[in-house]
């Protein structure tokens, strides 16, 4: 059987492309359109083809924004055989609607729970697995060692009191303690996640994400109170709502700001002339809670309406292998989910890998863990709070009204 690999590129019009699985063909739809992820994915599909010469592979690649819209159409209609997606609530949304296939047999046959203990929970619903995680990345605080030294900070802060002290010293030295670009909203969710995980713990955080805790609850107000301890003294860089995260980076590299809470994906962006000045530390401890972390996880799934589920399960088993994950994550500069895979030697990646390996548990990220429509309202609320903290109670009351609307549906 001849092999066939077609790369259909991006753009919304691509939705009209046929994504229907044909007999003997494995149809894969992906949103990995950025250069590095696409390069890694294409290389692995070539590897899969060589190992399975009797399987024809048809790959359709879409830009991320059109993919988020069109995947719902595919899953409820003529489905491809494999889709790339995300763990957590984003996966569960489709599981609850019976649009993703139970792949627990793939996990059992390949001892997946033993190989990927830190991420099995992120694709499990009611004891069954509905996808395969192949990469994740850490969040934490990247900082300028030279600015810390100039401000007289001897070591990265480990507690909230030390963190506040570091912020005060940095501000006194003439730099903004914390850089953020909140124009696109999602960076604010990193702050909310970490403050909630450190103040209230994982169980509370996930119940809030599932709509089981009111936003007017004392626990959420406690989070806003801690956040205000950074906002009111002016520890975040000015005019952050006018910058995207990309637009805010030069302020960090120019030494106008000293710390940035962000994912590991920022590290390839570090300019060569400041890279040696950069370092990383774990978000400081606040209350008596285990150290939970944000670790967004990317996954592959089989749609319930897929026609070629036999070969699709071969592909998912392929993505579970340590050699496959080592190869792919070396391109992505992220962390493989298989504990026997080898992460890159990059010092920032190694720091994140060490931190996640010791984590008491991981969350996906605010906009992956809660309902999508509530996530958007939540992130708007976080940005507003960062600009006008005096509106905290009003903002939470408004967000609570939205929670009631979303979760009664």
Q: pLDDT tens-digit profile of 290-347?
A: 999 999 999 999 999 999 999 999 999 999 999 999 999 988 889 999 999 988 889 9
**Which contiguous run of DSSP H or E holds residue 165?**
helix 160-172
- Provide the β-strand partners of residue 257: 176
CA distances to 29, 87, 160 from 84, in Å: 7, 10, 38
Sequence-distant contacts of 396-403: CB under 8 A, at least 24 apart? 396/215, 396/216, 396/220, 396/221, 396/224, 397/215, 397/216, 399/215, 400/214, 400/215, 400/216, 402/374, 402/377, 403/211, 403/214, 403/215, 403/374
Q: Is the dihedral of CA 310, 311, 317, 319 positive or negative?
A: negative
Q: Can you say how many angstroms the Cα of residue 100 is from the centroid of all Cα atoms in its chain?
A: 20
CA angle 30, 33, 39 (to 5 degrees): 95
Whole-prediction pTM value? 0.81
Q: What backbone torsions phi and psi does residue 234 show, to the nearest 5 degrees?
A: 80, 40
CATH number of 139-294+371-407: 3.40.190.10
Of the candidates 322, 321, 310, the one whose C-alpha atom is nearest the C-alpha of residue 54 is 310
Q: Can you say how many angstroms the Cα of residue 329 is from the centroid of all Cα atoms in its chain?
A: 15
How confident is the model at residue 39, as a pLDDT? 86
End-to-end CA distance of the chain: 48
Of the candidates 366, 355, 179, 193, the one whose C-alpha atom is nearest the C-alpha of residue 269 is 179
Q: Alpha helices, DSSP H only, in 280-371? A: 309-320, 322-332, 347-357, 366-369
Cα 79 to Cα 94: distance, rounded to the nearest angstrom? 13
**Burial (0-12, 13-18, 19+ Cβ within 10 Å), 409:** exposed
CA distances to 148, 163, 175 from 153, in Å: 5, 10, 13
Query: Is residue 377 within 8 Å of 358, Cβ to Cβ?
Result: no
For β-strands 82-86 and 25-30, DSSP reports them as parallel
DSSP secondary structure string for all residues of 59-97:
EEE--HHHHHHHHHHHHHSS--SEEEEESTHHHHHHHHT
For β-strands 7-8 and 56-61, DSSP reports them as parallel
Domain 26-136+297-363 belongs in CATH node 3.40.190.10: yes
Listed by start position, the domains of the chain span 26-136+297-363, 139-294+371-407
pLDDT in tens, the chain (409 residues): 333 334 343 333 333 333 444 447 999 999 988 777 788 899 999 999 999 999 999 999 998 778 988 998 999 988 999 999 999 888 998 999 999 999 999 999 999 999 998 889 889 999 999 999 999 999 999 999 999 999 999 999 999 999 999 999 999 999 999 999 999 999 999 999 999 999 999 999 999 999 999 999 999 999 999 999 999 999 999 999 999 998 999 999 999 999 999 999 899 889 999 999 999 999 999 999 999 999 999 999 999 999 999 999 999 999 999 999 999 998 888 999 999 998 888 999 999 989 988 888 889 999 989 988 899 999 999 999 999 999 999 999 999 999 999 998 6
How confident is the model at residue 32, as a pLDDT? 85
In degrees to the nearest 10, what's the CA dihedral of 328, 330, 335, 340? 80
How confident is the model at residue 340, as a pLDDT? 94
Query: Is residue 393 within 8 Å of 381, Cβ to Cβ?
Result: no
Cα 111 to Cα 302: distance, rounded to the nearest angstrom? 19
């Amino acid at each position: 059987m001849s092999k066939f690999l077609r790369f259909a590129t991006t753009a919304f019009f691509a939705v009209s492309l046929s994504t229907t699985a044909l007999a003997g063909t494995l149809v894969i739809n992906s949103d990995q359109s950025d250069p590095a992820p696409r390069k890694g994915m294409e290389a692995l599909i070539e590897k899969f083809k060589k190992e399975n010469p009797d399987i024809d592979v048809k790959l359709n690649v879409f830009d991320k924004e059109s993919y988020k819209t069109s995947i719902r159409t595919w899953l409820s209609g003529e489905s491809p055989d494999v889709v790339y997606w995300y763990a957590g609530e984003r996966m569960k949304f489709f599981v609850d609607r019976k649009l993703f296939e139970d792949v627990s047999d793939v996990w059992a046959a390949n001892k997946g729970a033993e190989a990927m203990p830190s991420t099995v929970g992120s694709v499990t619903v009611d004891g069954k697995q509905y996808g395969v995680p192949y990469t994740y990345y850490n969040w934490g605080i990247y900082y300028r060692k030279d600015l810390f030294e100039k401000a007289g900070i001897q070591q990265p802060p480990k507690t909230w009191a030390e963190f506040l002290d570091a912020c005060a010293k940095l501000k006194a030295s003439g730099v903004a303690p914390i850089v953020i670009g909140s124009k696109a909203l999602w960076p604010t969710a990193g702050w909310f996640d970490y403050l909630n995980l450190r103040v209230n713990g994982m169980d509370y955080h996930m119940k809030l994400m599932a709509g089981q805790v009111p936003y007017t609850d004392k626990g959420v107000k406690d989070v806003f109170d801690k956040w205000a301890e950074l906002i009111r003294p002016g520890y975040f860089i000015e005019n952050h709502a006018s910058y995207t995260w990309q637009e805010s980076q030069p302020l960090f590299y120019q030494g106008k700001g000293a710390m940035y809470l962000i994912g590991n994906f920022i590290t390839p962006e570090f300019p060569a002339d400041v890279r040696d000045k950069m370092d990383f530390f774990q978000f400081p401890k606040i209350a008596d809670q285990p150290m939970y972390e944000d670790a967004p996880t990317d996954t592959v799934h089989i749609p319930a309406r897929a026609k070629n589920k036999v070969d699709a399960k071969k592909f998912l088993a392929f993505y579970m292998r340590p050699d496959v994950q080592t190869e792919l994550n070396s391109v992505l500069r992220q962390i493989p989910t298989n504990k026997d895979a080898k992460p890159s030697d990059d010092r920032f990646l190694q720091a994140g890998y060490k931190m996640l390996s010791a984590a008491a548990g991981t969350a996906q990220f605010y906009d992956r863990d809660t309902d999508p429509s509530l996530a958007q309202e939540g992130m708007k609320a976080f940005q507003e709070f960062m600009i006008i903290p005096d509106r905290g109670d009003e903002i939470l009351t408004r967000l609570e009204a939205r929670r009631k609307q979303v979760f009664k549906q």
